[in-house]
Amino acid sequence: MSIDSPRTAIVGLGITEMGKVYGRSATDFAVEAITSAVADAGLSLSDVDGLYVNPGIKNDTDMRLQSTLGMRDTRVLATIQGFGSSAGQMVQYASLAIEAGMADVVVCVYADAPLKEGKRAGAAYPGQARAMVGVGSLPFAAGLKAAPERYAVGARRHMHAYGTTSEQFGAVAVAARQWAQLNPHAQMREPMTLEDHQASRMIADPLRLLDCCLVSNGAVAVVVTSAERAATLKQPPVHIWGWGQAHPGYVNRRDSEFGLVTGAAQSGPAALKMAGVGVEEIDIREIYDCFTYTTLVTLEDYGFCAKGEGGEFVASGAIAPGGTHPTNTGGGELSSYYMWGMTPLSEAVIQARGQAGERQVGKHDLVMVSGNGGVLDFHSTLILSPHPKGR
């Protein structure tokens, strides 16, 4: 059994203050984002009968938000953890619950507050703390701890296999910054050049500081309901046309595609098939960009360019403002804010609604959203549109 034509839509969006915002817990941020999203939709908290909660790296909020919010008799409720793929997953599970008649109005929220005043951003993501017991600890003991070095070995594989260069990674960073300059909510809005990228300090060779995403405190929530109900609400509905997930399960052995091919190669086509559209019909791409390399390899795997040609594609200016393939139009996680998969999803909702102001992409009929978690281990895709599917 499959759902060919989902009849659900995103009707509310709540975004808190982002970045170096101290003195507030993840739960504080989550409550603000949820109440903001519900109000944005023209609903009240008493209308909400479903809640999915994705805690971030600090893992200090969860489905007990139900009680915090005073919700009663909630019909679907869970803490969801798919790392960077969580936002896409939550919207999928919310849609499934609504399609199945389990719930009518489902809120999906991500919240985290890893930044501490006076501490470096890198200290917020030091690598998974784990007891150094047994053979599973060997990569960590060798120094492969935090995300930058783990993505770096993947990026180097791509560079070797396809001739991808650091300057091409830099083109992704520069394009993201150009979009961020048009986004009043972006954390990093000062101009950046390719020279700035190349001069930025090495974090984990070949990845430089300006290849790495931001770290942000804050929360984002979205409200999902049926397309029928969406038509009666305050905001232009953002219809959910298709979705997919793929979790490659890389094995550490000969012939592994780690670094070369990601879950996007499966979840993208699955979502496009469900939506009934071709990749060439996508107007806007909101790609999970924890690192510049992630954007590049995901664009390849979605099919916006041939495998191995991502470097030339991004360096051509295609993804920057004014380019042929507008991508990460709010500045992404690299320059706007880092809310895991809610960064691309929130910008997708804003663009699909036509509410992006100076950075609004003219043709915004189909928006493709990626989520990526672990070290390319977990992937989700959404296809969104301001139009009901099939009409």
Partner 1 sequence: MALAPVVRDDFSAPFFEGTAAGKLLLRYSPSSGEWSEPAARFCSVTQADDLEWRESSGAGTLVSWTIKPGRTKDEVTTPDVVIGIVELAEGPWLSLWLPEVDQSALAIGAGVRVDFLRPEGSEHLPVARLS
Catalytic residues: 288, 338
Pick the closer one to partner 1 by CB: 139 or 357: 139
Q: How many CA atoms lie within 13 Å of 76's alpha carbon, on the beta-carbon side?
A: 24
Pick the closer one to partner 1 by CB: 253 or 391: 253
Pick the closer one to partner 1 by CB: 255 or 358: 255
Q: Rounded to 5 degrees, what are φ and ψ at 235?
A: -100, 155
CA angle, 257 as apex, 256 and 263 as ends, to 5°? 125
Tell me if 119 contacts partner 1 by CB under 8 A.
no
Tell me the sheet residues that pair with 55. 111
Q: How many CA atoms lie within 13 Å of 4's alpha carbon, on the beta-carbon side?
A: 3
Q: Sheet containing 238-246: give its strands across.
A: 76-79, 50-55, 105-112, 218-226, 8-15, 238-246, 378-385, 367-373, 284-286
Residue span binding partner 1 (CB under 8 A) among the ranges 142-150, 177-185, 266-274, 351-359: 142-150
Shortest separation between residue 153's beta carbon and partner 1, angstroms: 4
Residue span binding partner 1 (CB under 8 A) among the ranges 68-76, 149-157, 287-295, 340-348: 149-157
Shortest separation between residue 201's beta carbon and partner 1, angstroms: 7
Under rule CB under 8 A, which residues in 256-295 are in contact with partner 1? 256, 259
Tell me if 153 contacts partner 1 by CB under 8 A.
yes
Tell me if 182 contacts partner 1 by CB under 8 A.
no
Separation of alpha carbons 27 and 245, rounded Å: 28
Q: How many residues bind partner 1 (CB under 8 A)?
A: 33
Pick the closer one to partner 1 by CB: 41 or 210: 210
Element (H, E) at 257: none
User: Do 283 and 349 contact (CB within 8 A), yes or no?
Assistant: no
Tell me if 129 contacts partner 1 by CB under 8 A.
no
**Region of 352 on the Ramachandran plot (φ > 0 left; ψ -120 to 50 alpha; else beta):** alpha
Residue span binding partner 1 (CB under 8 A) among the ranges 41-49, 82-90, 131-139, 190-198: 131-139
Shortest separation between residue 287's beta carbon and partner 1, angstroms: 23
Pick the closer one to partner 1 by CB: 3 or 153: 153
> Which structure tokens are listed for 93?
């599970």
Tell me if 126 contacts partner 1 by CB under 8 A.
no
Tell me if 132 contacts partner 1 by CB under 8 A.
yes
User: Do 246 and 265 contact (CB within 8 A), yes or no?
Assistant: yes
Residue span binding partner 1 (CB under 8 A) among the ranges 35-43, 195-203, 297-305, 383-391: 195-203
Tell me if 149 contacts partner 1 by CB under 8 A.
yes
**Region of 132 on the Ramachandran plot (φ > 0 left; ψ -120 to 50 alpha; else beta):** beta
For every residue of 66-128, DSSP letters joined together read: HHHTT--S-SEEEE---GGGHHHHHHHHHHHHHHTTS-SEEEEEEEE----TTS-GGGGS---
Shortest separation between residue 258's beta carbon and partner 1, angstroms: 8
Tell me if 201 contacts partner 1 by CB under 8 A.
yes
> Which structure tokens are listed for 274?
């469900």
CA angle, 189 as apex, 185 and 190 as ends, to 5°? 160
- Residue of 19, 50, 154, 332 that binds partner 1 (CB under 8 A): 154
Residue span binding partner 1 (CB under 8 A) among the ranges 25-33, 204-212, 296-304, 368-376: 204-212
Place of tokens 């990026």: 155
Whether the upstream peptide bond of residue 388 has omega within 30° of 0, thus cis, is no
- Residue of 72, 254, 363, 391 that binds partner 1 (CB under 8 A): 254
Pick the closer one to partner 1 by CB: 143 or 354: 143
Tell me if 121 contacts partner 1 by CB under 8 A.
no
Under rule CB under 8 A, which residues in 206-245 are in contact with partner 1? 206-207
Tell me if 142 contacts partner 1 by CB under 8 A.
yes
Binding positions for partner 1, rule: CB under 8 A: 132-144, 149, 152-154, 156-157, 160, 201-207, 251-254, 256, 259
